[in-house]
Amino acid sequence: MKQTYLILRCVFIWLISWAHFVVAVPTLIVVALFIDPRKSDPFQRFFARNIVRLTGVKLVVKRSPGFDPARTSIFIGNHVNLFDPFILYSAIPQYFRGWELESHFRIPFYGWLMKRFGNIPVADQRTPGSMRRLVLQTREALASGVSLIVFPEGRRTLDGRVGPFQNGIFRLLRDLEVPIVPISVVGSFEFNRKNSLMLNPATITVHLHETIDTANLSEAERAALARKVFEIVSRPIDEHYGEPVSEDANRAATGRERSRSTGSDNRPT
């Protein structure tokens, strides 16, 4: 009975959310034709918050005392599902845009909206030329006071955990020498996960961590930046799910299971 209720609830949420989306996106595009997107930011936030409200999610935002909302920064967070942009736009208290796959800009209506609003295209196939364009457009956005959000995993999580960060992204970010704000989104995996249409009741907590200055870092600090940010983003998620099993421990456990099933002590012969 409970499963039937959750399925019916999910169908209703998808229908009402899509109805809202179909009405709001063309409206936002028309508004963007006549008004600078920065000036229409409250309207955009209203749209994002309505999506969150319609899904029935309870959103909690926790700001570190060291988070500075007034500084133009690059926000780095974990990527969970298609609702991440709406959750983050409802949680981050400043104007920002994001890196987005170039192929997304070809999606009717949505792609036009992303282009007009100033999102930065990331080539699906990385080349030296596409990376130079990415750096140039990122510098221009930051210089104009627009913060950016980046998902360095490059894909949505399949298990709720934070996946490995792509090193190339951090080489670029180190060279930009702009403040970095790690973000942890906790509980969103229970709400919706990749390859599933189910939208479950959930509380989503967004942690806005302490702003990290990246100017004047030593070589050792620059080299350790990706690991540092990864650990900050992962910590609340690991606390939520419990500490992850290390690869070495997993291999050892697998070896013990194999040994018990075969009667072998797993020693070389």
* Sequence spans of domains, the chain: 2-256
Band of residue 170 on the pLDDT scale cut at 50, 70, 90: confident
Band of residue 246 on the pLDDT scale cut at 50, 70, 90: low
- Cβ count within 10 A of residue 35: 11
Instruction: Give percent of the chain with pLDDT exceeding 90.
Output: 47
Among 149, 147, 170, 151, residue whose Cα is nearest residue 78: 151
CA distances from 213 to 75, 136, 218, 230, 264 (A): 12, 21, 12, 16, 54
Mean pLDDT, residues 10-21:
90
Mean pLDDT, residues 209-224:
88
pTM: 0.84
Task: Give the span between the Cα atoms of 2 and 154, in whole angstroms.
Answer: 35
The pLDDT tens digits for 121-151 are 888 777 888 888 888 999 999 999 999 999 9
Task: Give the span between the Cα atoms of 169 and 180, in whole angstroms.
Answer: 13
Mean pLDDT, residues 176-187:
94
The per-residue pLDDT for 77 is: 96
CA distances from 147 to 57, 139, 222, 266 (A): 26, 10, 21, 54
Task: Give the span between the Cα atoms of 29 and 180, in whole angstroms.
Answer: 30
- Kindly tell me if the per-residue pLDDT of 210 is higher than 70: yes
